[in-house]
Amino acid sequence: MTSAPAGPVRLASGESLHVEDEGAGPAIVFVHGLPGLGGDFQPLVERLRAGFRCVSYDRTGYGGSAPAHPSAALGVVAQARQLLRLLDALDVEDAHLAGWSYGGVVAMEAARLAPDRIAGLVLLGSPGPAFAWPRGASNRLLFSTPLGGPLLRLLLALAPSALGRPLDQAYGEPAPEAVHRRFIAGLRRPGTVAYWMNEGRHFDPTACVPEEVARPALVIHGERDVQVPVAVGHDLARRLPHAELLVLEDAGHWPFATHAERVADAVRCFLAGNPAKLSTEAAALKTGRR
């Protein structure tokens, strides 16, 4: 199926999600993190849309999608079911899911719930059962104390640009300026911080069961990832029944933005069913030839 203009897509349940649908070919559906936007994946989409139908969307409560109702179901299972409803609305079968960070856990749960609908997974800096949450002083402040939300709102109102440096430190490497702008603009949308806080407080990565995910998976993790340590990626790849692991030695938590060409090459190899070439790519990265 060919691409459609970006805009709202209404699900059978009545939910409205902002969707960007580009390119033609096998479908890759991108699932953003906690928080985030579908547009976060643009550097990767630009490199893949020539051969794939690239669908990215803003999860409920973020970006251009409908705000989250205070009584909305929170948690990974609810997000995975919403993702499956989106596939129905877009008439997507045999989708490959590319999930970043929290979105990787959502993608795994969707594949566990409906393995007949999912062809494979690409997990980018994804948490797993070995991930301790909340991790780090900033996340503990945000999600484990009543002060986090008010302090973040104050900073967003008075000095949003000041978030750039702590954001880079938290994610393990500097990100492109466009990523900073998009991230901060997304957080300034009314209601987003409150929903992010609620999602974070309901997040339990130990409930993830990768052993029950029967679909092929490519785990891509940055060795410099501070937000989700690379040891979590190694553990996740061991637990998944059918997984390839690619560690990018000079990458942090958002390799699809900072190392988009490398990640796109690896995704093409994986989706083409060429593990030997993927292993060669990993070896080249290890020795610095790429």
pLDDT of 278:
59
Q: Which residues of the chain have pLDDT under 70?
A: 1-5, 70-71, 73, 274-290
> What is 49-77 written as a DSSP string?
TTTSEEEEEPPTTSTTSPPPPTT---SHH
* Neighbour-count burial of 189, counting CB atoms closer than 10 A to its CB (0-12 exposed, 13-18 middle, 19+ buried): middle
pLDDT of 151:
82
Model pLDDT for residues 268-288, shown as the tens digit of each residue:
999 998 655 555 455 444 434
Bridge partners, 171 (sequence order) = none
Q: How far apart are CA 222 and CA 249, in angstroms?
A: 6
| CATH code for position 277 | 3.40.50.1820
pLDDT of 10:
93
Quick check: 17 and 65 in contact, CB under 8 A? Answer: yes
pLDDT of 279:
54
Q: Domain span at residue 50?
A: 4-287
**Count of domains forming the chain:** 1
pLDDT of 288:
41
